[in-house]
Structure 1
Amino acid sequence: MAFTVYPALDIRGGRVVRLAQGDYARETQYGDDPLPRAADFARAGARWMHLVDLDAARAGGYTLGTLLCGIARDTGLQVQTGGGVRSREDVARILDAGAARVVVGSLAVREPETVAAWLAEFGGERITVALDTRQDAAGQWQLPVHGWTEDAGVTLDALLPRYVRAGLRHLLCTDIARDGMLSGPNLDLYAHLRALAPGVAVQASGGVRDADDVRNARQVGCAGAVLGRALLEGRLQLADALAQEARAADAARNAGDGPC
């Protein structure tokens, strides 16, 4: 299976930031230079990046169109981006600004029929559904909304098959307990998702600390990993993560070398 590394930039007020477990009161700032950082990703060999509009995630109305356009124009990176996507017009506008894929999060939980219609209209390669999840005391994976403060009343296991039937190709799933905490990705969660939706490309998000975590995400069957805080703080070198991407590509090529 192909594997993609997604170096990530979360933007708030024009600055590169990270939130701990999605809490806006627990923000760490990393500078006001998102475009040069994206260019660094490209120079390191990345093919994709993940871009999040934290202001829009809170208030709606995607605000990073100019930055997105600059990244797509100047770096050659394919950009997966979202934050505050509320309408069909938002999706079309973000794609027109240069996005390769639009990430839809809270609305995907609250209005699955709406997002399923976008999958049909724009195609499964242009939409990434982002499901942020938290395991409850009974072991069920709940899907909190409204800044992760309110459960939506539907579980991950109930919602994901609906999207599979609607043509979902790309799923970004974050274990809320690990987001921004450098505690390692939840490999059990991703193994569960691979069994639940084997035809969907699952991106691991939350907790990635080092190249071993990237390798483990690949080996458990993920199609990609989103790299945030560890990359920004130099705990993980992008080149080391990209080596896992290259190994997956080599394995896929070798698997195709056998007889027809």
Structure 2
Amino acid sequence: MPELIPVIDLMQGQVVHARRGDRQAYQPLRSRLVEGCAPVAVVDALIEATGACHLYIADLDAIRGLGDHRAQIAALAVRHPQVEFWVDGGFAGADAARALHEATGALPILGSETLAEPAALARLAAAGVPALLSLDHRAGAPLGPDWAHDPAGWPMRVIAMELARVGADAGPDLALIARLRAQRPDVAVIAAGGVRDAVDLATLDAAGVPAVLVASALHDGRL
């Protein structure tokens, strides 16, 4: 089965429930795993429930240009040294992504939605920072510059992100995943958005997906 990578979305110091990428409407998390929405408590519960080796953080304040959660992320990394944290901080280029890595030890996720520097991934690789690329889509339409979706420039791990399916109980976008895998068979395509249950995990496993980002299905007990 694909590796489960828990996801938390941070906004104004708390964990919120992401739905369909409509960030202005996100509400504080309600979960069967944990009381409240404090980042430390939620991360502790997710790691205990899944035994996760990786955990994805979307810093929504940073993505929206309204501050960041760098101090909280650094504290989480110290608290869970066995976990590799991945952070989408709305990075436009290599400098901000490298600063996040140096301050927290987390690996930066460069999202095509916000990426503006064509050489960002190459510069990070040259600096020894193993960044990931999130190929962001909304309702099937790629977000961000065309060059960000050019498979020639992809790192060895990319995320197939369909924002319209996040928290929507709609199932993973298998067509998007298949298209990306066909474009670069040597690259690991990580699924994101829409995973509901063990049946979806089995389907993704059959499709050759090594890992999947999950939030809602963990918090409501379906996984």
TM over 0.5: yes
The one of 120, 128, 134 aligned to 1:122: 128
Partner deviation per Cα, 1:60-95 (whole Å, 9 max, x = no partner): 65x222222222111232111122223433222221
- 1:254 corresponds in structure 2 to none
| In structure 2, C-alpha distance between the alignment counterparts of 1:131 and 1:14, rounded to whole Å | 26
Shift of residue 109 of structure 1? 4.7
Which residue in the other structure is 2:209 paired with?
222
Q: State the one-letter code of the partner of 1:65.
A: R
Q: Please list every run of at least 4 consecutive aligned residues from structure 1 whose deviation after the TM superposition is greater than 6 angstroms.
A: none
Question: 1:66-215, aligned counterparts within 5 Å?
Answer: 66-75=71-80, 76-106=82-112, 109-123=115-129, 126-134=130-138, 142-145=141-144, 152=145, 154=146, 159-164=149-154, 168-215=155-202
Give the AA of the match of 1:17.
Answer: V
Counterpart amino acid of 1:226? L
Is contact 2:10–2:58 with CA below 8 Å preserved after alignment?
A: yes
Q: Aligned residue for 2:32?
A: none
Q: Count matched residues.
A: 215
Asked whether the equivalents of residues 8 and 15 of structure 2 are also in contact (C-alpha less than 8 Å), the reply is yes
Change (3 A) 1:35 1:119: same
Q: SS state of the match for residue 124, structure 2?
A: helix
Distance 1:102 1:132 in 2: 15
- Structure 2 unaligned residues grouped into runs of 5+: 30-35
2:33 counterpart residue number: none
Are the aligned partners of 1:60 and 1:85 in contact in 2 as well (CA < 8 Å)? Answer: no
Map 1:1-20 to 2 at 5 A: 3-20=2-19
Task: Give the distance between the partners of 1:134 and 1:90, measured in 2 at CA.
Answer: 25
1:130-149 Cα deviation digits (max 9, x unpaired): 111146xxxxx53224xxxx
Percent identity between matched residues is: 29
Q: Distance in 1 between matches of 2:167 and 2:127?
A: 34
Once the two structures are TM-superposed, the CA of residue 102 in structure 1 deviates from its matched residue by: 0.7
Residue 224 to residue 99, structure 1, CA distance change in 2 (3 Å): farther
**CA RMSD, 1 decimal:** 2.4
Say which structure is richer in helix. Answer: 1
- Which segment is superposed worse, 32-41 or 199-208? 32-41
- Structure showing greater Rg: 1
Change in 2 beyond 3 A, CA 1:88/1:155 = closer
SS at match of 1:73: helix
Deviations 1:107-128 (A, max 9, x none): 66533233333233335xx201
| Match among 52, 56, 81 for residue 50 of structure 1 | 56
